[in-house]
Amino acid sequence: MSTDRATGAALYAFALVLLVAGGVWFVRAAPDTGEDPALVAGRITVERLLPDLPRQAEAETVVLAAGKRAERNTAVQGGSYALAMLCVGAGQVRVRLSDTGLDSGRAVPCDRQDPQPVELTVGLADALFLAMSAETEGPAVFRWRVVRSRSY
Residue 112 belongs to a domain with what CATH number? 2.60.120.380
**20-29, 83-92, 95-104: range with lowest mean pLDDT:** 95-104
Name, in order, each residue with C-beta under 8 angstroms of 50's C-beta and a sequence gap of 6 or more: 59, 84, 85, 86, 117, 143, 144, 145
Residues 104 and 143 in one domain: yes
pTM score of the predicted model: 0.75
Residues 61 and 25 in one domain: no
For 55-86, write each residue's pLDDT tens digit.
899 999 999 999 999 999 989 988 899 999 99
Q: How does residue 151 score in pLDDT terms, banded at 50, 70 and 90?
A: low
Residues 119 and 51 in one domain: yes
Residues 96 and 78 in one domain: yes
Residues 69 and 11 in one domain: no
Structural domain harbouring 44: 37-148
Residues 24 and 44 in one domain: no
Of the chain, the percentage scoring pLDDT greater than 90 comes to 60
For the chain, the first-to-last Cα distance in angstroms comes to 100
Residues 9 and 55 in one domain: no
For 103-132, write each residue's pLDDT tens digit.
678 899 999 999 999 999 988 888 889 999
Backbone region of residue 101 per phi and psi (left: phi > 0; alpha: psi in -120 to 50; beta: other values): left
Residues 15 and 55 in one domain: no
Count of domains for the chain: 2
Q: How does residue 1 score in pLDDT terms, banded at 50, 70 and 90?
A: low
The answer on pLDDT for 152 being more than 60 is no
Residues 62 and 18 in one domain: no
Residues 85 and 120 in one domain: yes
Name, in order, each residue with C-beta under 8 angstroms of 42's C-beta and a sequence gap of 6 or more: 63, 88, 89, 112, 140, 141
Residues 67 and 97 in one domain: yes
Q: How does residue 27 score in pLDDT terms, banded at 50, 70 and 90?
A: confident
Residues 47 and 105 in one domain: yes
